[in-house]
C-alpha cells in the first residue's frame, strides 16, 4: 500500500519536512491521533456565560478550571501556537498540523519548537483538523495545552524590576473577538497584568487565543469574583484606577498630561460592549476619562477604544520616565 501524500510539497527553507503520513506522529510511529469529538465553535462562547467553552481531551470531560478559570486549553492559529510553544509557561500536550499546507518558515519553527517541548506532533487531514477546531480559520495548526495559570491580584499590584504596574481591568467584556484584540493591544503596549471577572465575561476561548496572536502567553492574568471589590483592593495597594467612559468630561489626553504622570501604578478599566462600565465600577474608579471624537459615529468599538487608551497611557508613562525603586 503506497503512503499517503506528504503534508506539503517541496522542501522548506530548513530542508525536507520530517513529517510522515496523515495521522502519524513523526517522532513516534504507530501512535494514532485521537478520534474527533463533537463540538460547537466558540464564536459566541463566553458571551454572557462567564466561562470558556469546554475543551478537554478526547474521551474526557472539560479540562480542570475550564468552567470558571481562564481557560486556554485549545490554541488555534499559527502565531498563537508558535507563541504557546516558545513561551514555555505551560505544558503542551499535542500539536496538530494539516497535511496539505504550503511550505512556511513559521510552520518549520512550530515543528522545531514542538520537538523541543516534547509535544506530540500529529499530521492529520485538513478536514479532520477543521472538524476539531473551534474557530472558523485555524490556519491548519492547532494545539492542546494545560490551562492558563491565574495570577494573584495582589501580585499584579507590585512593581517588578523597577517597572510600576500597568494594569487593565475588563468589566464584563463578553465578545471573544473583542477580548482577543484587547489582549493583543495590551501586550504590545506594555501592559503588565490583566484582570477579568469570574462571571458574566469572556475568558480565554480558542477564538480569544487566535485573535490575541499569542499575547495570552505573555500576560499575567488574574480572575476576580467582582470588579468593584478588585478596584478597592487596588486602591489599597496604591494603584490609580482610570475608568474609560464615553460620557466622562475629562479627556484621556488631557489627563495623561496631568501632574504626576504615569510612572506610578495605574489600572485602566474598560467596560462592556454597549453598556460600558457598570454603575458601581464607575463609582469605584479614581477618575473617569473619555476619548474625544470628531466624527459622526456615536462611539468607538470597545477594542478600538481600549487600544487607543493603552497606547496613550504607555506614551505618557514612557515620557514620565522609569520608576526609581520597587514598592
Q: Are 176 and 208 in contact (CB under 8 A)?
A: yes
Kindly report, residue by residue over 111-131, the tens digit of the pLDDT. Answer: 999 999 999 999 999 999 999
Mark out the alpha helices in 194-301 (DSSP H runs): 206-212, 227-236, 252-256, 279-284
pLDDT of residue 240: 93
C-alpha count within 13 angstroms, C-beta hemisphere, residue 324: 0
Query: Residue 57 pLDDT > 50, yes or no?
Result: no
29 confidence band (pLDDT: 50, 70, 90): very low
Question: CA-based Rg of the chain, rounded to a whole angstrom?
Answer: 22
pLDDT category at 267 given cuts 50, 70, 90 is: very high
Residues of the chain with CATH 3.30.1330.30: 74-145
Share of the chain above pLDDT 70, in %: 76
pLDDT at residue 324, as a whole number: 47
153-320 belongs to which CATH class?
alpha beta
Position with higher pLDDT, 30 vs 232:
232
Nearest partner of 214 among 302, 56, 33, 90, judged by Cα = 90
pLDDT at 51 over 60: no
Please choose, from the candidates 308, 305, 310, 317, the residue with its C-alpha nearest in 3D space to the C-alpha of residue 257.
317
Q: What is the pLDDT of residues 131-189, one digit of tens each?
A: 999 999 999 999 999 999 999 999 999 988 878 899 999 999 999 999 999 999 999 99
Give the rounded percent of residues in the chain with a pLDDT score beyond 90. 64
Q: Would the pLDDT of 46 be above 60?
A: no
- CATH topology for 74-145 is 60s Ribosomal Protein L30; Chain: A; (3.30.1330)
- What the block records as the C-alpha cell of 277 is 462600565
What integer pLDDT is reported at residue 34 of this predicted model? 40
Res 259 pLDDT > 50? no
Q: Where in the chain is the domain with CATH 3.40.1280.10?
A: 153-320
Question: What pLDDT is attached to residue 69?
Answer: 74
The pLDDT value given to residue 68: 55
Distance CA 39, CA 16 (A): 35
Amino acid at each position: 500500500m503506497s503512503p499517503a501524500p506528504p503534508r506539503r510539497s517541496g522542501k522548506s527553507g530548513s530542508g525536507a519536512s520530517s513529517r510522515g503520513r496523515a495521522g502519524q506522529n513523526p517522532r513516534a510511529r504507530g501512535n494514532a491521533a485521537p478520534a474527533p469529538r463533537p463540538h460547537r465553535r466558540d464564536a459566541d462562547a463566553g458571551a454572557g456565560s462567564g466561562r470558556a467553552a469546554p475543551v478537554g481531551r478526547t474521551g474526557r470531560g472539560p479540562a480542570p478550571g475550564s468552567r470558571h478559570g481562564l481557560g486556554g486549553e485549545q490554541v488555534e492559529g499559527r502565531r498563537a501556537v508558535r507563541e504557546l510553544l516558545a513561551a514555555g509557561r505551560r505544558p503542551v500536550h499535542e500539536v496538530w498540523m494539516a497535511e496539505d499546507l504550503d511550505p512556511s518558515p513559521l510552520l518549520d519553527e512550530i515543528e522545531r519548537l514542538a520537538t523541543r517541548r516534547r509535544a506530540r506532533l500529529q499530521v492529520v487531514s485538513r478536514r479532520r483538523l477543521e472538524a476539531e477546531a473551534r474557530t472558523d480559520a485555524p490556519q491548519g495548526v492547532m494545539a492542546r495545552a494545560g490551562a492558563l495559570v491565574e495570577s494573584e491580584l495582589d501580585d499584579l499590584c507590585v512593581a517588578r524590576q523597577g517597572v510600576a504596574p500597568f494594569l487593565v481591568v475588563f468589566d464584563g467584556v463578553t465578545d471573544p473577538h473583542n477580548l482577543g484584540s484587547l489582549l493583543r493591544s495590551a501586550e504590545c503596549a506594555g501592559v503588565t497584568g490583566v484582570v477579568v471577572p469570574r462571571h458574566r465575561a469572556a475568558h480565554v476561548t480558542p477564538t480569544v487565543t487566535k485573535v490575541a496572536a499569542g499575547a495570552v502567553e505573555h500576560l499575567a492574568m488574574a480572575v476576580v469574583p467582582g470588579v468593584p471589590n478588585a478596584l478597592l483592593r487596588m486602591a489599597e495597594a496604591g494603584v490609580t484606577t482610570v475608568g474609560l467612559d464615553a460620557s466622562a468630561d475629562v479627556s484621556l489626553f488631557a489627563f495623561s498630561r496631568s501632574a504626576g504622570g504615569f510612572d506610578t501604578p495605574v489600572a485602566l478599566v474598560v467596560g462592556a460592549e454597549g453598556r460600558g462600565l457598570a454603575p458601581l465600577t464607575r463609582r469605584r474608579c479614581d477618575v473617569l476619562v473619555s476619548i474625544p471624537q470628531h466624527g459622526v459615529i456615536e462611539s468607538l468599538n470597545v477594542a478600538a477604544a481600549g487600544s487607543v487608551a493603552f497606547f496613550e497611557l504607555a506614551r505618557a508613562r514612557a515620557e514620565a520616565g522609569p520608576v526609581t525603586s520597587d514598592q
